[in-house]
Amino acid sequence: MEGLVLFNKPSGYTSYQVVEFFKKKTNKKVGHGGTLDPLAEGLLIIGIGEYTKELTKFLRESIKEYICIIKLGYISDTYDKEGKIIETNKEIPDFEKIKEILESFKGKILQKPPIYSAIKIKGKPLYKLARKGEKINLKEREVTVYDLEVLDFQRNLLYLRLKVSSGFYVRSFANDLGEKLGCGAYLEKLVRVRINDFDLESALTFEDFEKDFLEFQAKIYGRVQGVGYRYFAEKNAQKLNILGYAKNLKDGTVEIVAQGGEESLQKFIEQLKIGPFLAKVAKIDIMFRKPKDIYLYFEIR
């Protein structure tokens, strides 16, 4: 297996554990395009093999969307429900005041990362330094809140949808919101539902790998049109019992969507790298995702 993988990280797993899962599966270099705390769940982009080089754009320039639950009236040393929690016994403002304060977070803001985070200072993760009781002076960073929507408000639970820039910490946002409201707040639940154009519905799960029926979308660059590339792909797909299609695109590339078992899909990728006799494959973009529509056979479009 190689390429980028859309993966749905369950709550209770670290991003590192997911990376290790793919390392053991592939025996290749593996990385991710933006960590999720163990408490959080949702979309994690994994890079396998040479595709780890593609992860930088998700770490630095992506727009991410979250759904979160923030609990008002309490503070936490980790800014979420997994830390030491203290009830503030302070009155929670009314909904109109909460909406007014939320508006102040829109646009470019300065934010300090949580001290209990994986950010490294002199090669050591912050959370390890924090556990030792070391004093850490973190600088504020500029981040952007593109959109902020209240989904619900029940008693002391605030349900929000956030659309933010890379580097934004929802835990810090929850803590900062609590400070502005004067009643304290921490992050109760977090789900990452989108990174750029990729959404959680397309993400594979551990169960999908157990069933061993996956899908990848590939874009083939180089001399691949007018050389029988689609027919070559169809022939190899039929040999490997792979479903899907091959399609010429207007920009001169070929799009491949393939469904099947992991081993068969990897063998198919190896053939796609070679192509037919007159072809010259310069590059292949590969994204593994959850199959949505199951194809009956492999076709040329």
**Mean pLDDT of all residues in 270-286:** 97
**Mean pLDDT of all residues in 255-279:** 97
pLDDT-derived band at 113, boundaries 50, 70, 90: confident
Question: Among 3.30.2350.10, 3.90.1170.50, 3.40.190.80, 3.50.50.60, what is the CATH number of 65-81+89-195?
Answer: 3.30.2350.10
The per-residue pLDDT for range 184-228, each reduced to its tens digit, is 999 999 999 999 999 999 999 999 999 999 999 999 999 999 999
pLDDT at 140: 87
**Mean pLDDT of all residues in 83-94:** 94
**Active site includes 37?**
yes
pLDDT at 104: 96
Catalytic residue among 37, 80, 176, 208: 37
Structural fold of domain 212-300: Alpha-Beta Plaits (3.30.70)
pLDDT at 120: 53
Query: Regarding predicted confidence, which is higher, 209 or 122?
Result: 209
pLDDT at 292: 87
Torsion angles phi and psi, residue 256, rounded to 5: -125, 130
Q: Quick check: 153 and 95 in contact, CB under 8 A? A: yes
For the chain, what is the mean pLDDT? 93
With a CB cutoff of 8 Å and minimum separation 6, the contacts of 56 are none
Q: Quick check: 62 and 33 in contact, CB under 8 A? A: yes
pLDDT-derived band at 61, boundaries 50, 70, 90: confident
The per-residue pLDDT for range 16-60, each reduced to its tens digit, is 999 999 999 999 999 999 889 999 999 999 999 999 999 998 888
With a CB cutoff of 8 Å and minimum separation 6, the contacts of 218 are 3, 255, 256, 257, 258, 269, 272, 284, 285, 286, 287
Q: Is the pLDDT of residue 117 over 80?
A: no
113-122 long-range contacts, CB within 8 A, separation 24+: 113/138, 113/141, 113/169, 113/172, 114/78, 114/79, 114/169, 114/171, 114/172, 114/175, 116/77, 116/78, 116/79, 116/83, 117/169, 117/171, 118/35
Q: Is the pLDDT of residue 127 over 70?
A: no
pLDDT at 139: 81
Task: Return d(Cα 13, Cα 17) in angstroms, integer.
Answer: 6
Instruction: Give the residue extent of every domain in the chain.
Output: 3-61, 65-81+89-195, 212-300
The CB density around residue 273, as the number of other CB atoms within 10 Å, is 12
Which pair of tokens denotes residue 59? 């770490």
Q: Is the pLDDT of residue 133 over 60?
A: no
Give strand pairing partners of 185. Answer: 72
Q: Is the pLDDT of residue 232 over 60?
A: yes
Query: Do the two domains 65-81+89-195 and 212-300 of this chain adopt the same fold?
Result: no
Q: Is the pLDDT of residue 122 over 90?
A: no
